Amino acid sequence: MEITAQMVKELRERSGAGMMECKKALTQNDGNIDAAIEWLRKQGLAKADKKADRIAAEGRIVLGQDAGKAVLVEVNSETDFVAKDENFLAFADNVARAALGAADIEALKSAAYPGGGTVEEARAAVIAKVGENVQLRRLVRIDSANTIAGYLHGGRIGVLVELKGGSPELARGLAMHVAAMNPPYVAEKDVPAEFIAKEKEIELAKMSEKDKAKPAEILEKIISGKLSKIVNEVTLTGQPYVLDTNETVAAVLRKEGAEVIGFHRVAVGEGIEKVVEDYAAEVMKQAGLV
């Protein structure tokens, strides 16, 4: 299979590995990018697939919060210019208020909009004003008698944290931590067995033949230590707390007698592929110059 420059580019973006390593990985795996990422990781040339971190759409995350409930909504626009437009911003803020009474994104569209009509009708009106498509992409919420903290970072990242015990200040600090560190899981018990098995396979593949020849019990201790480090990296409780990096989140929680029940983290455009327009090429094409 022909390995194209675009395939190498995508693999570099997703893995962080060098160009020659990416080309070799693709050649070894018949152009399969997912298999190439795993191959690179087994060679110790890549840490993880970075694709999920790519932000490829514009818009804003908005937060609505009232006693016992909080909600985050992603409101998308086509350009960053419109995402800063006063009409778009006013619409997004009103959507956050309306979302407090909506169970999901579909219910939100038919919910009453502050000032009259429905949210869907208001969306159509703002599209007419800004001249771009505006979408309500997703909604996450927490309804609980426990402590709930909401945090927005620059309007592009939103976090909700539910905390049992502890204080509102701790809950907000943890929300800031989740925004900054983006842990996939709360604690070790939440990490899927499939993830652990795959990481174990990768760590074994990366080991030297000398290490592999060690007694089984020693080899198991080495692997367990590596897996423990990986689990700490991907869990909220295992990470150093961003507001006090001398302590882990687990240690901070123990001190305050608190427990994280769950969290949501939403970033603008994550998982959406954005088409990059080459306007100069388009004009030349229409003019018959290419």
**Residue among 144, 139, 143, 185 nearest 158 (CA):** 139
Architecture of domain 55-143: 2-Layer Sandwich (3.30)
Q: d(Cα 196, Cα 85) in Å, to the nearest integer?
A: 45
Over residues 66-92, the mean pLDDT reads: 94
Over residues 53-76, the mean pLDDT reads: 85
Select the highest-mean-pLDDT range: 16-20, 44-48, 151-155. Answer: 151-155
What residues does CATH 3.30.479.20 cover in the chain? 55-143
What residues does CATH 1.10.8.10 cover in the chain? 5-53
Q: Say what the pTM is.
A: 0.76
Architecture of domain 5-53: Orthogonal Bundle (1.10)
* Whether pLDDT at 255 is above 70: yes
* Whether pLDDT at 254 is above 70: yes
CB of 174 closer than 8 Å to CB of 146: no
Counting DSSP H helices and E strands in the chain, the numbers are 13, 8
Mean pLDDT check: name the lowest of 18-22, 26-30, 269-273.
Answer: 269-273
Over residues 36-63, the mean pLDDT reads: 74
Measure Cα distances from 144 to 148, 201, 263 in Å: 8, 40, 12
The reported pLDDT for the residue numbered 143 is 97
* Centroid of chain to Cα 177: 13
